[in-house]
Chain A
Amino acid sequence: MRSLYATRRTWLHGVPAWLKLVVLSLAGTALMLLGTLLPLAVATTIVLALFISLGPAGWRQWRMLRGLLIASALIAGFHWLVGDPVVGIVSALRIMAASMLALMLTITTRFDDLLAVLEYTLSPLRRCGVPVERIALGIGLTLRFAENFYAQWQRLDDAHRARTGRGGGLRLLAPLAIRALQTAERVADALATRLGG
């Protein structure tokens, strides 16, 4: 799986993850409060300038922005058709600015750092019985399973292809589901043995 994180360092890489998260949530709230065209246009321009300042690291995530641009254009176009172009532009600008900010965080912050911030913020909840380490372990397991699952799919597809000359398609879903559940059962046994039920 290709991560969205950009290994090419930018100025934003050096800013601590928690600070970026705080700024992001404040900026997000501010964007929601700005309801008129001009301030929103200014805000979006500033965000766009910040995004461009990341250089190639940002532009390599172009495909993330492309879908967003299409959606924004459609929303604006739709409202223009209905006869209320300003509402369309306002919501399109807001969506674009908010998404660019979030994307900037995503491409300049390592997953582990975000996970650490999450564990830290959730840690007071530990007293209320929220299993913070379990959540982190769960996310790690999910990624591992996703990889393993994909590999199993390909193996089943190869086997089907070898027998019939065609890919298995949806027919593989049932054997795949059962195999995956059996894998999960084995992992559950292993975890239960090591960590206790």
Chain B
Amino acid sequence: MTTTGTMTSTRTLSYIALFAAVIAVFGLIPKIDLPFGVPITLQSLGIMLVGCLLGPKRAFYTVGLFLLAVALGLPLLAGGRGGLGVFVAPSAGFLLGWWIGAVVCGLCMRQFMRRMPEAKGKGLLIAAFLSSAIGGIAAMYLFGILGLMLAAHLTLTQAALAVLAFIPGDLVKCAICAVLVQSVVRGMPSWRLDRD
């Protein structure tokens, strides 16, 4: 085995940095602003991919590294936003949600792949779709909604209604994520999906 699952492995660092860059590049694609200052971006697709392809542990490091770079003022969020300010904005809860969401997504994917290690076609698609839906939608919105409630003083129902508009787009992202995971497994058969 060439890869150990720790940040101290130089090899792993390369993948962590790559996926942090993937999240950043998805932010270059123009965003659509919705009310309450929460933008629709492809960046959450990056979060789902990180979780599905890297597994929970490295997903944790990846999103952590990305958020650290943002906090240091790099304009890596969609629309060229960055700096510490984004962590007090109404959408700050989603940033924490990304972090947790990527880990949850990785945990689900690992569980699925350990149950059915030989999954290639439909099984893999469904596993990746479900993992990204649980991590990238359910877990992420849990924190996003909490953030909106705290920063914008909305009630639970109001905050939940405010984010409802994103769900259809997010389901599309889950589907794209599933197809991508499948293509990576096809194109790089040595890629392992059941790692920590």
Q: Which residues of A contact B21 (CB under 8 A)?
A: 141-146, 148-149
Q: Which residues of A contact B75 (CB under 8 A)?
A: 1-4
Question: Are B72 and A95 closer than 8 Å at their CB atoms?
Answer: no
Q: Which residues of A contact B84 (CB under 8 A)?
A: 24, 102, 105-106
- The interface size of chain B toward A, counting residues with CB under 8 Å, comes to 58
Minimum CB–CB distance from B118 to chain A (whole Å) comes to 21
With beta carbons under 8 angstroms apart, the residue of A102, A118, A142, A177 that contacts B184 is A177
Question: Are B18 and A184 closer than 8 Å at their CB atoms?
Answer: yes
Indicate whether B80 reaches chain A with its CB closer than 8 angstroms: yes
Segment at the B interface, from A8-16, A36-44, A60-68: A60-68
* Contact bitstring A126-154, B, C-beta under 8 A = 1, else 0: 00010100110111011111101110010
Q: Which residues of A contact B160 (CB under 8 A)?
A: none
Indicate whether A30 reaches chain B with its CB closer than 8 angstroms: no
Indicate whether B167 reaches chain A with its CB closer than 8 angstroms: no
Question: How many angstroms between the C-alpha atoms of A114 and B10 in the bound complex?
Answer: 24
Q: Which residues of B contact A79 (CB under 8 A)?
A: 153
Indicate whether B116 reaches chain A with its CB closer than 8 angstroms: no
Q: Chain A: interface residue count, which band?
A: 35 or more
Segment at the A interface, from B22-30, B101-109, B122-130, B136-144: B22-30
Question: Are A191 and B89 closer than 8 Å at their CB atoms?
Answer: no
Who on chain B is nearest to A182 by CB?
B188
Question: How many angstroms between the C-alpha atoms of A72 and B105 in the bound complex?
Answer: 32
Indicate whether B169 reaches chain A with its CB closer than 8 angstroms: no
Question: Are B37 and A102 closer than 8 Å at their CB atoms?
Answer: no
Q: Which residues of A contact B183 (CB under 8 A)?
A: 174, 177-178
With beta carbons under 8 angstroms apart, the residue of A63, A72, A143, A144 that contacts B74 is A143
Given contacts A95-B88, A99-B88, A184-B14, contact A197 B184 (CB under 8 A): no
Given contacts A71-B89, A74-B37, A143-B74, contact A191 B153 (CB under 8 A): no
Given contacts A138-B17, A174-B187, A188-B10, contact A28 B153 (CB under 8 A): no
Quick one: which of B18, B24, B35 has the most chain A CB within 10 A?
Answer: B18
The 3 closest A-B pairs by CB, nearest first: A71-B37, A102-B85, A141-B17
**Chain B residues within 8 Å of A, Cβ to Cβ:** 7-18, 20-22, 24-25, 28, 33, 35-37, 39, 49, 65-66, 68-69, 72-76, 79-90, 151-154, 158, 176, 179-180, 183-184, 187-188, 191
**Chain A to chain B contacts (Cβ below 8 Å), 6 pairs:** A4-B73, A99-B89, A131-B7, A141-B21, A142-B66, A184-B17
Known: A75-B37, A142-B24, A142-B65. 18 other contacts (CB 8 A): A4-B82, A24-B84, A91-B152, A95-B90, A99-B85, A101-B85, A103-B85, A109-B73, A138-B13, A139-B17, A143-B21, A146-B24, A149-B22, A150-B28, A180-B22, A192-B10, A192-B11, A195-B10
